[in-house]
Structure 1
Amino acid sequence: MNKEKIIAELQRIIDEVAQISTTLDTIKEIGRFGKMTDDNFDFEKYIIWDTRCHNLLSRIMSGETIHYKRFKEEDNRGFAKPSRKGRGYFSHSVELYYKRAILIALRDDLVNDVFFDEKLLLTAENYQEILQQAEMLIKNDYKDPAAVLIGAVLEVSLRKICTKHRIEYRQKDTINPLNNLLKEKAYNSLTHKQIITWADLRNNAAHGHFDRYSASEVKMMYGWIVKFIEDQLHKNAV
């Protein structure tokens, strides 16, 4: 499914929310959620709608987006059971309200090109353009997608360095396996250790652990990898 089809499907799902609960659009402030009831809530339509949402979101970047992570966090909060870990909501309508907001955020990110498919990036040749996109994200305080982008560029670059040094690798090899292949053959142990650090940061970003690194670290990662690519692939190119 291409980006345009995903956007169209998201819009259709967002529009269907009005058929599930008639109270959502009457609430304009979060502080008034206590007045949002399930009196006119169609549970059967909600189950169908929610299942379709999970199906769509799980297929985008293999379900590794922050949007899907947030969406799953909202599951069953409408039950508001005292024994449930985390906060509960006043009604299923409030849960639906938040889920719709997450879908709108995903749609807008796709429309505005601040959402990236890492699998496509890993096969991209024009990684300089991708680095420019990452730089733009950093400047606009989008550290998390920037980290994923930069990590993808690092992986592409390591593959290119392996090819340059005639080192065989498996197609499924990611940053750390590629880094181990190149240790002492293409660069020193300090570079090897630094790449391990960047791989860890990239993995945290890709799996939604956004509190484990800072915007300044992503900026440092960007600068380091730009220089690394210049040294390894552009200088004395063969």
Structure 2
Amino acid sequence: MSGTLKAPKKDAPSRGGVERPVRADARRNVDALLEAAMAVFATSGVDAPVREIADKAGVGVGTLYRHFPQRSDLIVAVVRNEVDACADAASDIAARYEPGEALERWVQRYVDLLATKRGLAAALHSGDPAFKSLPDYFLERMRPVFQGLLDAAARSGDIRPDVDATELLLAIARLCVPDHHGGGAEQARRMVTLLVDGLRHGAPAAPPRPSRGRR
């Protein structure tokens, strides 16, 4: 999964390696490559041909090599990009919905990240040295936003107050691993819904509160 793309290293990768300023056109190329890679990985897995990714991004293979000299560089950048998007979605969801519903909606967003991105979740736990930074990055980005949603739902009386974000993140991740019976994303969503429903057991009764409504 993390084999070399067999091209000379002309520049250090702009994502997944040491960050450095890039020109606007280079930034657009990186963004296009990340978007294309995510789409290709979702349908063909992380071992998909790099030419397919470059073609979908509308750039040459050389451009892909310049930014991501190794396949692992591209995978790391895509994982970080998707983790960032999922973590950043928490504040928007929390602003639009009551705490209990916000928690449910963000958890399903998290399930989408793990259950529908073929091979990306596996990279988090592959043991490959090329991906050794990913588990820590994942927890650093996900844990605080998830704990914030859990704390808000606990204060509102929607869930019990003794839920640990790290434990629940890992539990949900395990439920999103496909089984040998071929269980996929829909099965993962059903199982995670049951898990979240269980958080309501032992929740303290809360006084009625005015609805903020949905925007």
TM-score under structure 2 normalisation? 0.32
Please identify which structure carries the higher helix content: 1
- Rg larger for: 1
Greater relative contact order structure (CA < 8 Å, 6+ sep): 2
